[in-house]
Structure 1
């Protein structure tokens, strides 16, 4: 391996005349409509089952395929960002998202709707790493916290309001309006991006390794698919453990090949930087807890408190709003005080909120649920973007695309693993309770069903609490980082001396 070439700094763009404000605005508008769409269909699935006359196992592909495509596409974005300019990447991403939205809105049958969702997911998968990489390039390390906080506002707030917006639309309009109302916002994002977005990187066009792309697709795709189906089918089905096993083998081969290549599509040398590695582990554990809790909470609201889907969406809305407000505040505080002041207290808050979740009962008030949800998301907002920024700040500039691709990929994988793991724990706990306490486990009464679900949810939340304690221990080692210079920058510094 040629160490010097692997550390070489790629050609850079003169950023002295770049206007950051319009660029960030264009990125945020595009990201908001794309990420909002991830949770927009949740409350519409029953209507879509009726509209297309397909079973729930089929309609779930609208969600599974979306997650699967993003999980497959994100790992190769590091390579794509070295082949295409910032404008080309972002406009292509928004173009795909717009096209997918139009296809979905006009879909005459389920297959066409699924195709539209896949095209939408391709746009979202391309967009997220470009978004983060652009922020890293145009802002110096001492100002990245505030900028990443704005990105955090979008990433957390948009999916939080998705269920509420979809519930409101589905109460009075056709499911097609879920897509029709997004179209003008996507068009505006494309127009603003075309007017204001500037290229902030220079394409270096490294050699494309087809085998790496195939291994990445099979590896990450198999793992995300297998875990996403586990929550629905259980762990004993071939459709679950088969893809996970194949994906795991492919992923090992992918890692081996990336370490052997001179120009890997995902440069794993980013893991040489200890704070980046620590942050990746922390966020993997934390995102498992977050995604699983956001999956379990609607089940509690609708299954135990007997809320409608729309009311459960409204109940979760305040937490999303507070999280959106907190994200840029946390970013500004990070710039001023560094990560430890935010990350460690934030993890304590997350641990406390998970303990409060374990105390929930069928008699719990809506206000209590809203309070605990808000507390958890305040903790998450204190951790997520400060930790990400800390890890990425240590990387030299040529590893920015690879670092953002690694973080975004593992977010998708941890989300799939967390949701599947915790749903299976809940299902097992519910089954055990009914077998031991229900008069007729095959046909339990509504009260027994509620108590069974609570038993399963308590099991899941106790495991979530244990996982959050692990995240807290990892977070104790977080430190402020400084950018590591590349070999070329070191050479310049030496010659100046």
Structure 2
């Protein structure tokens, strides 16, 4: 190895290892939302119902929720290059299988394999960033990361809309294959290992509990409907119970062996506050990401491509603002960004409660840009503050828990707004209200619920420090000293 990748990055430069991982992460995250517009084509080509076709997105989210809890352990046991090879190799295999899938079942399997690779990339990127970038430069580099991971989900529906205008849904995978192959090859040429792998056996019981518990929780949340609450609630309760058993087992393994997910990260007060803030903000954001396309397509009659183009400015603004937010964080700290950002999120969601059949599109675009810019001002500092409060040996576990709770929050936010919207509109229709007016009223109430959630984000933002005090490195890996600030 010609250079020490863990050495501090030169001033103003993003380390090569981070550039490679950001590029790869952009491609794999893009695929999480790229199938949203393809549902009608899948229904026709593979002869499945709409509910069945939705599984190409649901299965992706379920797999992420089931796999991410294991990544904290995995990233400590293998080298950076090995983790990258596994993640990109698995993603390539899933993409290739999806492209040639002769049936919906095979396509679903391909999406699950894709998600397995994607689940490793985000924690790998965050863990590596926190290891190789010095504290005074993390905001700037995290801002560049935000650009990639924010723009990718926003671009997914737009790219798929363009592709589907001229070709089959299979081209969504065919076009990704060579790009992923080139990025994988470039990464293996340039990537250097960061840190040293640690020995340690995996606990199969913990893996099963995490996969079934978190997967079951997300599955149950994804099945909620206004006229079907009992069954999904039972699945959610079972998932939550298994997660509780998983947590108790991790506490025991912390004393006697190697935990799959080290819960001592929660002893760091700043990390825990950041975790709550991120989860609730994700809940509010994903709820609005579901509601806005439903409003634009089902009520205003826009095509999927037009819908994608209308929300694209917000996604681009969020991503392009990321580096600026990062530099401001490095200079002034987190509070001056996170508090206004959290207020902006609540204001944007409150604005969406005023939607109508005649609301000008420029107002919708302005509200969406306000929300996405506010999220950019919030996410970059909160990621950096939260993980910065942990000792280095817990970075991978902190990233893993953050990623897991994002998936759970996304599922919970989606279930919450869809259930509230459906229940309200069904109730109004039963009372004789016009269906379109009822649907619109249901959406307004769902946006109001999201705005109420955003008030929690404001409270948590006020509790965060401006900077995370650097924790002392632990002498023993089983007894880290954590900052409680």
Compute the TM-score of the two structures, normalised by the length of structure 2: 0.94
Flag as ranges the 4+ runs of structure 1 deviating above 6 A. none
CA RMSD of aligned residues (A): 1.7
**Pair 242,47 (structure 1): closer, same or farther in 2 beyond 3 Å:** same
Q: 1:291 aligns with which of 277, 286, 289?
A: 286
**CA distance in structure 2 between the aligned counterparts of 1:42 and 1:103, rounded to whole angstroms:** 19
Contact 2:8 2:132 in 1 (8 A): no
Contact 2:33 2:156 in 1 (8 A): yes
Residue deviations 1:71-111 (CA, integer Å, cap 9, x gap): 00000001101111111001110111111111111111111
1:456 aligned onto 2:442: yes
Residue deviations 1:395-423 (CA, integer Å, cap 9, x gap): 00011011000101000000000001111
Contact 2:283 2:409 in 1 (8 A): yes
**CA distance in structure 1 between the aligned counterparts of 2:209 and 2:139, rounded to whole angstroms:** 34
**CA distance in structure 2 between the aligned counterparts of 1:476 and 1:17, rounded to whole angstroms:** 31
1:488 deviates by 2.4
1:267 aligned onto 2:262: yes
Residue deviations 1:221-274 (CA, integer Å, cap 9, x gap): 11011101215x754242x12321211111111111111113211111111110
Contact 2:9 2:134 in 1 (8 A): no
**CA distance in structure 2 between the aligned counterparts of 1:47 and 1:271, rounded to whole angstroms:** 44
Contact 1:218 1:246 in 2 (8 A): no
Match of residue 372 from structure 1: 367
1:485 aligned onto 2:475: no
Residue deviations 1:371-399 (CA, integer Å, cap 9, x gap): 10000001000001211110110100011
* Structure 1 runs not aligned, ≥5 long: 1-12, 439-447, 492-497
**CA distance in structure 1 between the aligned counterparts of 2:106 and 2:150, rounded to whole angstroms:** 29
1:245 aligned onto 2:237: yes
Q: 1:313 aligns with which of 308, 320, 329?
A: 308
Contact 2:9 2:133 in 1 (8 A): no
Contact 1:276 1:395 in 2 (8 A): yes
**CA distance in structure 1 between the aligned counterparts of 2:6 and 2:273, rounded to whole angstroms:** 30
Residue deviations 1:39-78 (CA, integer Å, cap 9, x gap): 1011111001100011112111111111000100000001
**Pair 461,17 (structure 1): closer, same or farther in 2 beyond 3 Å:** closer
Contact 1:219 1:247 in 2 (8 A): yes
Q: 1:303 aligns with which of 279, 298, 308?
A: 298
Match of residue 482 from structure 2: none
Residue deviations 1:318-353 (CA, integer Å, cap 9, x gap): 111111101121111111111001000101111111
1:24 deviates by 1.7
Match of residue 236 from structure 1: 229
1:103 aligned onto 2:122: no
Contact 1:275 1:481 in 2 (8 A): yes
Residue deviations 1:404-452 (CA, integer Å, cap 9, x gap): 00101000000000001111000011112212233xxxxxxxxx33211
Residue deviations 1:281-301 (CA, integer Å, cap 9, x gap): 111111100010001110111
Contact 1:235 1:241 in 2 (8 A): no
Match of residue 196 from structure 1: 190
Q: 1:420 aligns with which of 409, 415, 419?
A: 415
5 Å-filtered alignment, 1:62-461, equals: 62-231=56-225, 234-238=227-231, 240-262=232-254, 263-438=258-433, 448-461=434-447
**CA distance in structure 2 between the aligned counterparts of 1:95 and 1:17, rounded to whole angstroms:** 29
SS at match of 1:54: coil
1:23 deviates by 1.3
Compute the TM-score of the two structures, normalised by the length of structure 1: 0.91
- Alignment length (residue pairs): 468
Match of residue 5 from structure 1: none
Contact 2:206 2:246 in 1 (8 A): yes
**Pair 91,451 (structure 1): closer, same or farther in 2 beyond 3 Å:** same
SS at match of 2:223: helix
**CA distance in structure 2 between the aligned counterparts of 1:226 and 1:53, rounded to whole angstroms:** 25
1:37 deviates by 0.5
Contact 1:303 1:450 in 2 (8 A): no
Residue deviations 1:154-198 (CA, integer Å, cap 9, x gap): 211101011111111111111111111111110111011101111
